[in-house]
Amino acid sequence: MNNIKELLKEQIKFTDGYLDKYLAEKDNPQNIIYKAMRYSVFAGGKRLRPILMMNTCKMCGGDVNEVIPFACALEMIHTYSLIHDDLPAMDNDDLRRGMPTSHIKFGEATAILAGDALLNKAFEVVSQYNGNNPQRAIKAMNMLAVSSGTEGMIGGQIVDMESEGKDITLDELKYLHLNKTGAIIRSACTVGALMGGASDGEIKAVDEFAQNLGVAFQIQDDILDVTGDEKELGKPIGSDAEENKNTYVKLVGLEKSKELAKEYSEKAKKSLEMFGEKAEFLINLTDYLIDRKF
């Protein structure tokens, strides 16, 4: 596990180098928008989505350099969704990872535009593609866009909003997460596989991995809100319950949640059987994510 920590650190650094380049400040009158975009992107994200994409790509025999623009694009999309989620009209959060949120730091108007700009930049970056397989790149762009749109992340956000303060069923909770957080975890993996030259069967296996990992990851998030360490987590413990959020722990209890997290992570790992040794990193990563304390 120490080894995976080192590997993750390296991959975060690699990703951040590209994000730094794609979001370089400009010496022009609108420079503040770059400052606001960078502030949120470099606020200490775990880069889980880029890391999943790079490693599924590698596992399928691809070149990480082919996929890095897509990986950075997905991180930008993830970050924009956090900026907009934190807005007063949405979750109204002042802090994220212990730092002032974008609208607290830059004002609400700039935060809205910084979110818009990151979503827009994601597609600027992937459409710079000039490799040898433009058809494949367009398909990857579409998978990315669909996963972050109304039948993916944004769809999940709407359902989440609509169900706030209401009691929902476990199936409804699953639907919500499958879209809100699950969809872009899936596209992280399937875009990685596609750009890595995977066969349809391989993409299907990777998708199954991602779906199960996504659920396990979400359950673990809900568990940590109850059992976690405030300092490591960077947010107060018990805030989900306080805000009456619909979580796995609320719906099925802590013990059953732990069982489910384990069950889904085992299913995730099993999905990668066909890749043999090449799946080693993603299997270790799955264990690492479910054992995490942050």
214 lies in the binding site for its own copies (CB under 8 A):
no
- 10 vs 124, which CB is nearer to its own copies? 124
For its own copies, the closer CB: 113 or 289: 113
Of 187, 153, 266, give the one whose Cα is nearest residue 219: 266
172: buried, middle or exposed (CB in 10 Å: 19+, 13-18, 0-12)? middle
Tell me which of 8, 54, 74, 119 binds its own copies, using CB under 8 A.
119
Residue numbers 7-26 binding its own copies by CB under 8 A:
26
Is 215 in contact with 264 (CB distance < 8 Å)? yes
Residue 12 exposed, middle or buried by CB count within 10 Å (0-12, 13-18, 19+): middle
Site string for its own copies, 59-98 (x = CB under 8 A): ---------------------x---x--x-xx--------
Q: Per CB under 8 A, which region of 55-63, 146-154, 188-196, 224-232 contacts its own copies? A: 146-154
Query: Is residue 104 part of the contact set for its own copies (CB under 8 A)?
Result: no
| x-or-dash string of contact with its own copies, 36-65, rule CB under 8 A | -x----------------------------
Return d(Cα 84, Cα 21) in angstroms, integer. 23
Scored b (16 or more CB within 10 A) or e, 90-124 reads: ebebeebeeeebbbbbbeeebbbbbbebbbebbbe
When binding is defined by CB under 8 A, the residue of 10, 61, 97, 142 that contacts its own copies is 142
Q: Which residue from 162, 167, 243, 273 is in contact with its own copies, where contact means CB under 8 A?
A: 162
Minimal distance in Å, beta carbon 69 to its own copies?
11
Q: Give the number of residues written for the chain.
A: 294
Which of 181, 195, 74, 184 lies closest to 123 in space, CA to CA? 74
Of residues 220-249, those binding its own copies (CB under 8 A) = none
Phi, psi at 293, each rounded to 5°: -120, 10
Tell me which of 1, 29, 166, 255 binds its own copies, using CB under 8 A: 29
- Which one of the spans 27-35, 59-67, 197-205, 260-268 is the region binding its own copies (CB under 8 A)? 27-35
